[in-house]
Structure 1
Amino acid sequence: MNFSHSVSKIALTGSLMLWALPGAAQEMTPDPVTPAQAAAPTPADAKVQADATTATTAVGPTDSGANDSIVVTGSRIQRPNTTSAAPITSVTAQDIRAQAAVNVEDVLNRLPQVAPDSQQTYNDSDGRQRIKLRSLGFERTLVLIDGKRLGTQNGQDVGIIPPSLLERVDVLTGGASSVYGSDAVAGVVNFVLKKDFEGLQIDGNYNFYNHNNKDTVASPLARAAGFSSPRGLTNDGGRADITVTAGKKLFDGALRINGFVNYKHTDPVLLSERSNSGCYLTQTSLNAPLSCGLTPSSSTSGLITPQTGANANAQYVNNPNGTREFVPFGPGAGNASNYFSNYAYQRPSERVNAGGFVSLDIAPDAELYASGIWFRDKSYNNYPAIAGGTVNVNCNNPFLSGSQATAICGAAAGTAATAPIDLRYRLGEGNDQPDTYLNTGVRLTGGVRGKVGDAWTYDLGGVYARNHQDYTPSFVNATNLQNSITVGGTRTSPTCATTTDAACVPFDAFSAGNTNTALIDYLYDQGTSTTTGTLYDVQANVTGDLGKYGVTSPFAEQGVAIALGTEYRKDTLKSTADSVYRAGLGGTDTYLKQDVWEANIEVQAPLVEHKRFVDLLQVNGGYRVSKYSSNPSTFNTWKIEGIYAPVSDLTFRASFNKAQRAPTVVEIRQATNVEFARGGSGTINDFCAPTVTTNANGGVSYGAPIASRDVCRATGLSDALYGSPTLICPGDASTGATGCTVRSGGFTADPETAYTQTYGLIVKPRFVRGLVFSVDRYKIKIDDSLGYNDYSYYTDGCQRSNGDAFFCQGIVRNPGTGTLYSPASSNPTTGFIRQGTTNFYKSIARGYDFQAQYTMDLASIGKVDWSFNGSLTTFAGGQDSPVQPQRNCAGYYGNGCGQLIPKWSHGLRATYTTVDKGFSASFNWRYVGSLTNADNSGDPAIGGTPERERTSYYHVSPQSYFDLALNFAIAKQFSLRLIANNLFDKTPPIVPDSYNVALARTNTIPQRYDSLGRNLAIGTTIRF
């Protein structure tokens, strides 16, 4: 029996069994809002009736007493009694408090519809938190705050939002470009903030990891390599979060002012502090036993590789016993240190957010509004302090012993001659150097909104957002390294040979255990690269109820509603660096920008209401036209939606969307900016040239080309030149690079087009009041999908497909000669292999979403609220070309399956609340389905061929996590929360070569699994 599918059935059965609970539950109004409350009808005089499953028209905090705002996700039309035609998942403030979330990332990672991310566990992170719906990429997910854009796509950071400030989060999955514009291809995430607050409130929580380190498969391997692997209970990784919120209403409520300040701090957890990550686990070949991935360059004894002479390319380390002699590199204490020992399992960071909201009624039906949010986030990535590079050593260096000098210099030992070596020396495990990320930003909104008569509302406003990042890496100054290695004098009184740098510190690279901090200070530079992204967004939106003018179906009570809008946006991205950064790491300054003008219309038309066999029949439509400065064409997006409820208990819904995404400014530059390189990151040879073999006497012989004649013919090569030595890509005398020419850019990147379909069913049985269940089928297909592809996309694809023109077009030969090398100075139009951002074929996502909510009345002892959210993914992947098979990565990882999407995942929460609401207990079950290495998929399209089948470490079993939250309303002004996430301290599953799978060195998939252990939290809310 497939355990994953069995649990899926159990979970679904459990949610459906809510229907069969005896008796009609009495409706209760929990405080704060829960999904069950959203399910219940609001009083007859309420302005909004919430749709339980979608929460599409759930009421956020009103912005004014005169102009109650309806926060609607997925539509510009604001009207009561609306049922969404597209599935929307909502996370309430109660849910957020129950998990003691410090980052917005923590909130969203629990939703099956969101591809989880874990920037706090990536040592390579830049500190910014971004959202990916359906694993289709953050560029395809539009993020809003109260219905307006968060900021630029490239500079997006949802960490600007403190979780304690959230009223709820709405997640609409599926295309929404016709309503919101480009980027809403995978869907929309709308953060609804608490703004209408009066008084003073303090929210705070502190959480930490309480984990019992038990031996894992990594433990004995780490110890055998001379590394530590901890045992026993540990309490670490503390995270503190405090928010102070204040608000005041003045002039009889006409002026409303709110402000907040939020501070959060995160302590580091190192890889060496968990038993599952004592060393980086790898399989050196298919089905090989696990081993610690030893990195020669991490040796604290120093790794020396002579480049010439009899010992050329031999790897030596200085004997760790203190003698000045070389021994061969190999595993064991002293010879190799743990390169990743001080990598962060949880990155240290410190963030401050502050902001305010103000609104003023300037007339009975007109309101001025403004808001501002500012943040500053500082975080670090630690990397080993390794002095590395090719240097020339003087053969009479006083630090060299006789045997060492002979090994490097041969007969020239003891003379003033020099010999090249490749040096990799880790200057102590405690001297790792930080890369610092300082992210700052501001988001300002403002405008005027109101009503005109009874039929029309308007909102004229805009957003200014600015994200700024200072990246300050540490790197070795190559000139200083050479200066420090060229040493004269004596071993007891060494001197640098250079006469131009008085600060030079001699480097004893030929003894083990050098930790000279003065040398580190001399060798390492810190330069800063600065990137600033800005968004200017101006919108004018008008909504009208045409029923006030009699535009109503004869069979409906509500009239036709309409929304009209126009929008102008400007995106800019500026990148600069100081002279130190440029001298050490290169690069050029850039300034990128893009403008867009858009106009849209949206219509809701109830056709039949409250008739026999038709409680509601409604159609919706939307259309948007867009013009981007980066593209000569105008493009359009649209939606058509339908809702049919034969009775009030049962609603069918369907939505069809055409969504488009224009390339971001970074993608435009990657597509259009022409850059040439010889050999790319290594030597690239023409696969139609002959293979070359050099014999012991220096003679050269030619063999058959790697590619077939048919493949080479598809690249435009004549049969007469197939296998000709003239095709061999030569070296470039001016740069020293070898290999074929790679051209990046010089191509047009057109908008990608997505077609989204959703079909759903909502059940609200009147015989079980408060119960709502929904199931929705989604199908997303993206044509001309935008993405960055390096040269291997074309060369490998051309070979694998046996000459498919879709791939082979990226190999552009010189006419006549058929060669693939050209001088970059002439900006050639032929003679290169292409790479860069481009439109490739299709991306595909398909599956089902399930949601259920129920409030069970327990009469005098309280009530229990149930909520269920599950997702079944049936397809996640794409198709590389018209003649290639579709790649379905649902449930698989590896071989290009980077989505890491299990076929099934869900969350099921039950919350008990006493009658007086003085106590509540919430228990949550999070389930993550299995993942299997694509080699074992049995699908050749993703590499599942018999010869690649693995026999070990190819499967990650389903994982269940349980959370408990206790809330005590001790007094009207004071509440206390005690929370345990991953209550049973489940150890994460082992995944070898995890960096290739999840971009993490943690031996697991931290974005999918609770990798640091049990998390305990205490939180409080104090009101004044």
Structure 2
Amino acid sequence: MNIAWKSALLGTTLFAGMTLAGVASAQTAASDNSVGEVIVTGSRIPRPNLEQPTPVSVVSSNMIQQAGPQNLGDIIVQLPAVGANSTVRANSNNFSNTAGISALDLRNLGPSRTLVLVDGQRHVNGDVSYNAVDINSIPTALVDHVEVVTGGASAIYGSDAVSGVVNIILKKRFDGFQANAQIGSYDGFGTKYSGSFMAGHSYLDDRLNVNLTGFWQKERTIWVRNVPGANDWGRITNPADLTGRVDPTFLSSRPPIRNDHIPDTIYVPHVGSEYLGPNGTLLNANTFAPQFAFDRQGNLIPVAKRTGYNSFAFGQLPADCQDCYFESDYNQEASPVDTKGADFRLAFDVTDHLHATLDAKYVQADVSNAVQPSYTFGDYQLAPDNAFIRPDLAAALAGTDAADYPFISAFLQPGGRTQDITRKTYRVVAGLNGDFDAGFSTVKWDASLNYGKVKNHITNNSLMITENFAAALDSVIDPATGKPACRINVASAPQTGIGAGAAPGCVPYNPFGQQNNAAVFGYSFGSFATRDTLSQEVASLNANFDTSRFFNLQGGPIGVAVGAEYRMERTKDVNDPALVNGSTENLSSDSSGGYNVKEAYVEVNAPVFKGFAPLLDELTFDAAYRGADYSTVGNVGAYKFSGTYGPVSWLKLRSTYSRAIRAPNISEAFQPPSPGYFNVTDPCSVENITGHANYAANCAKQGIPTGFVANLNSSIVGQSSGNPNLDPEKSISYTGGIVFQPPVVPGLAVTLDFYAIKIKDAITQVAAQDIINNCYDSANLDPSYCSLFTRGADGNINFVKTTFVNASKLYTQGYELHVTYNHDVSPLTSRWRPTEWMTGAIGFDMTVDYIARLRNFPFQGDPSNYQVLEGRPVNASNEGTPRLRGLAAVNYKQGPWTVNWQTRYVGKAALFNLDPVSVDRSEERNVPFISPTFYHDVSVHYRLDDRFGKPLEGSEVYAGVNNLFGEDPPFMTIGAGNDLAYDLGRFFFMGFTYRH
């Protein structure tokens, strides 16, 4: 048994086997001092706020307003429990169709394991390949607050709530008119604008309330080159640490020297490539060095010389190398997003016991995503009679084979590869709720129909049309005109078969310099569209009651909640035929899929005693169970046990133990087969047969002869696809902690919780080499892997199928501290004359999260093979997070003034492999750690009164600075799905809110 789980069980038995619980840690922030019965995320049973069994963190409306014109995802991700792996910044600089999406990732276990709700209801996901809600589709102007519960919650809410639930609570009834406008910017880049209005009115003696919200938000492009200290930086081999290396230059092909106290690599500016310059290069195929380079007019020039290397193509270049290729010039740190939408809400009291609600919204996000340009790297050779070879180059090439000098270039003139994405979200939720006397109890109930649809239109621009480009590059002088023409259009020219599948209208391509016009690129490159649709249909019925009329425990009646839900999820992905048939450099497959699930749950709350005796102030147990029948994986179940023990009214102990599940999503189960090629090593080949104790025996069982030599000089044909035979993921979560509310300090609440989440049968897409290795590593040819590849009659591997399998295990544990304090300052300030004027109220809120372990076991059957992910930033080889993160906010309100100060802390993080089974790699770079960082945000709000005129009374002006002291991000975290924990620099904002 794992030591951590032994400790967790021991902690439980210390209280005679009782399951302990307590208040939601941030209830006071969400609801001030309300004591009414409400439903707080984590339970379906209404009760006073301070009696909830599950810790809840809250993003308050004050925190949302204080952040300035940020999207909602960037605000929520400031919570220490929320990872930053899937924000707008993390989803920029890729071609995966997810640009502009902001998703949430609790405990860094993946966004697909975090369930996002809106007012307790499910919300349709943002993309076919991405099992996560796009938080940008939820209007910030309409958000009242956000409740976050970490740990398994599938028993309450169903599948996907493996690492927790984020419940976004919207504003309800609204009367009046409110409008807001904001603008903000970093130091000269990344400007953000937002505007919104909300108009509402009540009719029929306040029985009917109707309100309409409209909003617009625009975030401009942030290029990597905009970020201070990030432009063109990279890592090269340290020239001071070369002695004894097999290869003294390339990072990827040299064994490092350990324990010599000299960094293996160093960070330097101007890291790029002279190979992939925009003017074209001819590579020496024998030395892999650029042999001939050209200027923009196509003239031969000396090849730029690198002073350091990190691969045979990239390294440090002269600062003035204008014709070299630098990735940071074309990569985005954050894609531009233009979001607009409207939300219509209606609430109608049909009777005192029956209420109807309607929520309908439309949101459109327009995103422009950019990645590095298309390029060719030695895939083409120029024929000696190429029309654009000038005499000086012809003389240099005389007597050589064209294959000796393959052509390479980055095609920068089309503007790089871009995606124009339009993402439309439609959602309608119609509901009824009420109560009735059932005889045994008053039953409160609600029923709803929830329909959501997302339609994505993605246009991929500047993609190479491979056959057209091959034909355009293979040009000759047409004797009839004396001008360059494509060989396939010149009948008298010797035909090579190149470009045989090209489209008519070939326009010759000049490979030297930057002399091609729009017609040239229009023939060889093109724009191709993908359209995908996601839909979600949910019908739910919930009810709760208590036993007060016929049975009461000493602490009160037993509360019961029951419910049922039916859900249908469907997706469809349709691509331009050129993307499907392989005509372009991108290959996609049309797809469709779906599933349905029928669920039912029951939850029970038993207050055993309340104020019973000294040291027995409170004891409450909670239990829940949910059964589900999926059309894909069949019947599954989830459960939860929790409770509260309070020896005194101001001290409570709490604990939860739960089992959660995640059914495979549509992409994992139904992704259609896509062809591909893999380079693999055969364990049965004679040079590898001794690499594992089981290789020889397992290879013999398959009939591989002794001394077999594999032929792996060429790529293996393969296929990637979904797996309809997946099982659901299963997780066990444990939390235990204390809640301390000392009566001697009114308004103070302190909570400290331990959490542990273990996920087994985690769904992952296994690489081709891992499939082959796991087959032969196993004791007896594991069929789950051995069935995924085949061998030909000669014994060589000839086909590999990569797919999703239930292969992995994830584990995390840590501690979370939460402190809140709210109180008037006058009892203290009135004692001293200099502070008598301070008669307002102060609020303080602090959350600190420490990750003791965050581990990924790629193959759960091999516990010795795991990755240590805690203590390093997201892009340090594997996803992870710094061990320690904190968020503290203090606000002071007096009269019309409100001053907010917020501090965020990001702990020290390693940039090298922390795995204990690996060789120490702390010397692999001269900057092995990212230093701890504090970010300070400040804002000031002023509420206008009647002195400014009656129409402006109640309105508000405000301004602020995030990252007040201008902490720059670590340059090594920029541009590669970086961790949003690191700011991009100082951010200024100002805004105005009009209320009437």
Question: Structure 2 CA distance, aligned partners of 1:270 and 1:815?
Answer: 47
**How do 1:757-776 and structure 2 match up within 5 A?**
757-776=734-753
Q: Given the alignment of the two structures, is residue 559 of structure 1 paired with residue 557 of structure 2, yes or no?
A: yes
Is it true that 1:881 corresponds to 2:883 in the alignment? no
Q: Deviations over 1:765-796 (max 9, x none)?
A: 11111111101111111121222221233446
Q: How does 1:449-848 map to 2 (within 5 A)?
A: 449-453=433-437, 455-474=442-461, 475-485=463-473, 486-489=475-478, 493-499=483-489, 503-510=505-512, 512-514=513-515, 516-547=517-548, 549-553=549-553, 555-556=554-555, 558-582=556-580, 583-584=583-584, 585-613=586-614, 614-631=616-633, 633-670=634-671, 679-680=677-678, 683-690=679-686, 704-705=687-688, 707-708=690-691, 710-713=693-696, 715-718=698-701, 721=704, 724-725=707-708, 727-728=710-711, 738-739=715-716, 748-795=725-772, 810-812=785-787, 819=795, 821-822=797-798, 833=800, 835-848=802-815
1:739: Cα distance to partner? 3.2
Q: What corresponds to 1:320 in structure 2?
A: 295
2:214 paired with 1:239: no
Provide the residue aligned with 2:995 in structure 1: 1023
Letter in 1 for 2:940: L
Among 432, 455, 473, the residue aligned to 1:448: 432
- Aligned-partner Cα distance in 2 for 1:378–1:148: 26
Which of 385, 390, 397 matches 2:386? 397
Q: 1:804/1:326 Cα in 2 relative to 1: closer, same or farther (>3 Å)?
A: farther
Q: 1:427 to 1:750 in 2, by over 3 A?
A: closer
- Structure 1 residue 888 displacement after superposition: 3.4
**Which amino acid is the alignment partner of residue 51 of structure 2?**
T
The answer as to 2:146 corresponding to 1:169 is: yes
The code of the aligned residue for 1:857 comes to D
One of 71, 88, 93 as aligned partner of 1:103: 71
Deviation at 1:468, TM superposition (A): 1.8
1-side partners of 2:717 and 2:415: how far apart? 41
- Amino acid across the alignment from 1:628: Y
1:350-429 mapped onto 2 (5 Å cutoff): 350-386=338-374, 388=376, 390-391=379-380, 393-405=382-394, 410=399, 422-428=406-412
- Structure 1 position 334, deviation (Å): 4.6
Cα distance in structure 1, aligned partners of 2:980 and 2:699:
45
Provide the residue aligned with 2:936 in structure 1. Answer: 962
Tell me if 1:892 matches 2:872: yes
1:78-126 deviation digits (Å, cap 9, x = unpaired): 2335512121100110111111142112111210000024323632252
Residue identity matched to 1:325: L
Instruction: Quote how far apart the aligned CAs of 1:322 are.
Output: 4.8
Equivalent residue of 1:767, what SS? coil
Distance 1:893 1:104, change over 3 A: closer
The whole-number CA distance in structure 1 between the counterparts of 2:898 and 2:510 is 65
Q: How many residues align?
A: 883
Deviation of 1:407 after TM superposition, in Å, equals 5.2
**Alignment partner of 1:989 is 2:978:** no
Contact 1:245 1:258 in 2 (8 A): yes
Q: RMSD between aligned alpha carbons?
A: 3.2
1:804–1:912 distance in 2 versus 1, CA, 3 Å: farther
Cα distance, 1:267 vs structure 2: 1.7
Report if aligned partners of 2:178, 2:993 keep a CA contact under 8 Å in 1: yes
Could you say what secondary structure the match of 1:106 adopts? helix
In 1: Cα distance, 2:208 partner to 2:121 partner:
22
Distance 1:407 1:717, change over 3 A: farther
CA distance in 2, matches of 1:1013, 1:470: 33
Match of 1:5 in 2: none
Equivalent pair of 1:178/1:623 in contact (CA under 8 Å):
yes
Letter in 1 for 2:860: S
**What letter corresponds to residue 683 of structure 2 in structure 1?**
F
Residue of structure 1 equivalent to 2:849: 871
Deviations 1:40-98 (A, max 9, x none): xxxxxxxxxx9562429955999xxxxx9934211111233551212110011011111
- Whether contact under 8 Å (2:759, 2:811) holds in the other structure is yes
Question: Which residue of the other structure, out of 119, 123, 127, is the alignment partner of 1:146?
Answer: 119
Give the direction of change, closer, same or farther, for the CA distance of 1:805–1:145 in structure 2 (3 Å limit): farther
Aligned equivalents of 2:646 and 2:591: distance in 1?
Answer: 55
How far is the alpha carbon of 1:531 from its aligned partner? 1.6
Partner of 2:4: none
Indicate the SS of the match to 1:521: helix
Conserved 8 A contact 1:461-1:540? yes
Task: Give, in whole Å, the separation in 2 of the partners of 1:357 and 1:61.
Answer: 27
Residue 46 of structure 1: aligned partner: none
Distance 1:983 1:624, change over 3 A: same
Unaligned segments of structure 2, at least 5 residues: 1-21, 238-250, 257-263, 306-316, 490-501, 827-836, 946-952
Residue 693 of structure 1 corresponds to none
Q: 1:837 to 1:408 in 2, by over 3 A?
A: farther
Equivalent-residue separation in structure 2 for 1:848 and 1:780 (angstroms): 12
Q: Which amino acid aligns with 2:933?
A: Q
CA distance in 1, matches of 2:921, 2:211: 64
Give the whole-Å Cα distance in 1 for the aligned partners of 2:792 and 2:296: 63
Map 1:973-984 to 2 at 5 A.
Answer: 973-984=954-965
Partner of 2:394: helix, strand, or coil?
helix
Change (3 A) 1:745 1:268: closer
Would the aligned equivalents of 1:343 and 1:381 in 2 still touch at CA under 8 Å? no
Per the alignment, residue 311 of structure 2 pairs with none
Does the C-alpha gap of structure 1 residues 469 and 932 become closer, same or farther in structure 2, counting only changes over 3 Å? same
Cα distance between partner residues in 2 of 1:256 and 1:323: 70
Aligned partner of 2:220 in structure 1 is: 267
Does the 8 Å contact 1:727/1:818 carry over to 2? no
Q: Does structure 1 residue 123 correspond to structure 2 residue 83?
A: no
1:114 aligns with 2:82: yes
1:688 to partner: Cα distance: 2.0
Task: Show structure 1 runs of 5+ residues with no match.
Answer: 1-49, 63-67, 211-234, 413-417, 691-703, 731-736, 823-831
- Measure, in 1, the Cα distance between the counterparts of 2:33 and 2:354: 18
Alpha-carbon spacing, 1:57–1:433, altered in 2? closer, same or farther (3 Å): closer
What is the letter of the counterpart of residue 965 of structure 1? S
Contact 2:24 2:52 in 1 (8 A): no
Q: Give CA-to-partner distance per residue, 1:415-445, whole Å, 9 cap, x none.
A: xxx8797443345578334221221111111
Distance in 1 (CA, whole Å) between partners of 2:29 and 2:933 is: 34
**Contact 2:872–2:882 (8 Å) recurs in 1:** yes
- Sort the Cα spacing of 1:816 and 1:520 in 2 relative to 1 into closer, same or farther, 3 A: closer
The answer on whether the counterparts of 2:668 and 2:722 sit within 8 Å (CA) in structure 1 is no
**In the alignment, what sits opposite 2:980?**
1007
Question: TM-score scaled by structure 1?
Answer: 0.80
Query: 2:216 is matched by which residue type in structure 1?
Result: Y
Instruction: Tell me the CA shift for residue 798 of structure 1.
Output: 7.2
CA distance, structure 2, for counterparts of residue 443 and residue 363 of structure 1: 27
C-alpha distance in 2, partners of 1:107/1:897?
26
The alignment status of 1:253 with 2:206, answered yes or no, reads yes
- More displaced, 186-195 or 342-351? 342-351
Over 3 Å counting, the alpha-carbon distance change for 1:55 and 1:753 in structure 2 is same
Paired position in structure 1 for 2:240: none
Amino acid at match of 1:772: A
CA distance in 2, matches of 1:81, 1:119: 34
